[in-house]
Structure 1
């Protein structure tokens, strides 16, 4: 790695043991590799969360722009009536 900067981090004994175990098992070549992957995953989660928040904002705006709200109970009552009418006409 041509352009790297060393930093120091403090980990709990359990975290240190987990990092050492995966390096000793050969799953990772070094503790730095473990930390880089952990940071990439952290960055991915943060990016995903930001995208989800942005999507919720777009959906919220679309909902507001869609017009007057409808009472959910009244809407379901209308749907139930329509389904019952269809079933009654089919059975007749």
Structure 2
């Protein structure tokens, strides 16, 4: 790897044991590889979170722009009345 920088990180004994176990079992070739993969997963999770927040914000704004709220209970009552007795019995 080119342009690699070393950093020092303090970890709990539990995390150190997990790192060492991942290397000892052959799942990874080094503890650095484990950490790099964890950082990549963290980066993806953060990006996904940002997308979710943006989508929630968009939907919120769409709801606000759609106008005043309407009480849905009368519609649901009409639908329940219309389809009462049509549901298959279990």
Tell me the TM-score normalised to structure 2 length: 0.85
Task: State how far apart, in whole Å, the 1-side matches of 2:61 and 2:78 are.
Answer: 26
Q: Which stretch shows the higher mean deviation, 65-74 or 53-62?
A: 65-74
Any gaps of 5 or more consecutive residues in structure 2? none
**Aligned CA-pair RMSD:** 1.7
The alignment's TM-score, normalised by the length of structure 1, stands at: 0.83
- SS of corresponding position for 1:7: coil
Partner residue of 2:31? 31
Q: What do residues 1-26 of structure 1 show as CA deviations (whole Å, max 9, x unaligned)?
A: 11111000011101100100010111
Which of the two has higher C-alpha Rg?
1
Is 1:9 the counterpart of 2:38 in the alignment? no
Matches within 5 A, 1:74-89: 74-84=74-84
Q: How many residues align?
A: 86
Greater helix proportion: 1
Deviates more, 1:72-81 or 1:10-19: 72-81
